Structure 1
Amino acid sequence: MFVRTVYATGDPARLGTALGALNTRGHDLLEERPGYRGAGVFVDRDLGKLLTVSWWESAAARRNSDEVMSARRPELLQPFAGTVAVENFEAVVLHAGRRPLSGGGLRTSRLEFEPADADLAADTFHAGVLPLLEVLPGFAGAALFLDRDRGRGMTGVLFADRASLTASRARQAAIRHAGTAKAHVTVVALEEFEIVHADVRED
């Protein structure tokens, strides 16, 4: 599948307004778009960070949704958002796992790599990293997104609750260290979020 991520930062005190709009009007807009396969909403309430991920059955479906969503996005995110960054990726690995409850945790890693190493990154995550993540207490799902042309990507690992997210930090750090070395990728950012909503329909 294919994904679009929206990363917004702003005043933490105004984050609730954006969440309300995304979970009502934003959700309805996405559901109306052909090829839509689910979405996730993740927040850092202390710093004022918002990450949304929408899933699409094809690159064409994602592209066809861009006109409507790009036009409506500013009103959905205001007055919270001071900065907004939109990126498109291919979801090369997806393990939906068990659905995390609202209030669970997401840990993301931003990656950079040589475009020629995209397949190596995907194979390493699928065969070497994912099996180690699956046995972490509280594991609730994982995905790898790649932009092959730009040599950029993102991993996301979901945990059923915040305690599991916190407890996994050391073990996932060791997994990340070994995996990035084998895959020839560089981690350029590491973040954690609260899960507001997360749902993807694989079939």
Structure 2
Amino acid sequence: MFVRTVYATGDPAQLGTALRALNTRGHDLLEERPGYRGAGVFVDRDLGKLLTVSWWESAEARHNSDEVMSVRRPELLQPFAATVAVENYEAVVFHPGQRTLAGGGLRAARLEFAPADADLATDTFHAGVLPRLEVLPGFAGAALFLDRERGRGMSGVLFADRGSLAASRAGQASVRREGTAKAHVTVVSLEEFEIVHADVRGN
């Protein structure tokens, strides 16, 4: 599958307004788009950060959807958003885990790599990293997104509750250290979010 991420920052006091718009008008707009396969909404309420991930059955469906969403996105995110960054990726690894309830946690890492190492990154995550993540208490799903041409990506691991997210930090740090070394990947940022909503439909 293919994904589009939207990363917005702004006034934490206005975050609730954006969430209500995304969960109503934004949800309806996405559901109307051909090829839509689900979405996730994640927040850092203290700092005022919002991450959304929409899933698409093809790159073409994702592209076609953005003809509408790019026009409507500003009104959905205002008055919260002061900055907005939109990225497109291929979901090269996806482990749905258990159905994640609101209030759980996401740990997301942004990655950089040589484009020639995209397959190495995929294989390492699937065969070496994912099996070790699955045994962490509270594990609720994981995914690896790559932009092969630009050598950029994002990994995300979902946990069933915020306690499990916090307790997994040391364990995942060990997995991350070994995995990035084997995959020739550099982690350029590491963030944690509260799960507001996460639902992806299987193939």
| Counterpart for residue 125 of structure 2 | 125
Letter in 1 for 2:104: G
1:7 aligns to what SS in structure 2?
Answer: strand
Runs of at least 5 residues in structure 2 that lack an aligned partner in the other structure:
none
One-letter amino acid matched to 2:145: F
| Separation of aligned partners in 1, 2:35 and 2:165 | 32
CA deviation after TM superposition for structure 1 residue 80, in Å: 0.1
The answer to whether the aligner puts 1:14 opposite 2:14 as a matched pair is yes
Paired with 1:202 and 1:116, the residues of 2 have a C-alpha distance of 29
Percent identity, please.
86
Write out aligned runs for 1:130-141 (5 A).
130-141=130-141
Count of paired positions: 203
| Partner in structure 2 of residue 86 of structure 1 | 86
What whole-Å deviation, never above 9, does each CA across 1:77-112 have from its counterpart, x for those lacking one? 000000000000000000000011100000000000
* Unaligned segments of structure 1, at least 5 residues: none
Query: Structure 1 residue 49 and structure 2 residue 49: aligned?
Result: yes
Structure 1 residue aligned with 2:199? 199
Shift of residue 191 of structure 1? Answer: 0.1
Structure 2: how far apart are the matches of 1:166 and 1:185?
24
Cα distance in 1 between the residues matched to 2:80 and 2:26 = 15
Q: State the SS of the aligned residue for 1:136.
A: coil
Map of 1:162 onto structure 2: 162
Which amino acid is 2:200 matched to?
Answer: V
1:32 paired with 2:32, answer yes
CA distance in 2, matches of 1:76, 1:165: 29
CA distance in 1, matches of 2:145, 2:202: 15
Secondary structure of residue in 1 paired with 2:64? helix
AA paired with 2:181?
Answer: A
Report the equivalent of 2:59: 59
- State the SS of the aligned residue for 1:97: coil
TM-score, structure 1 normalization: 1.00
The residue type equivalent to 1:21 in the other structure is: A
CA distance in 2, matches of 1:99, 1:189: 26
Q: Report what 1:2 is aligned to.
A: 2
Task: State the SS of the aligned residue for 1:46.
Answer: coil
| RMSD over equivalenced CA pairs, Å | 0.3
Q: Look up the match of 1:97.
A: 97
> Which secondary structure does the structure 2 equivalent of 1:102 belong to?
coil
Q: Deviations over 1:119-173 (max 9, x none)?
A: 0000000000000000000000000000000000000000000000000000000
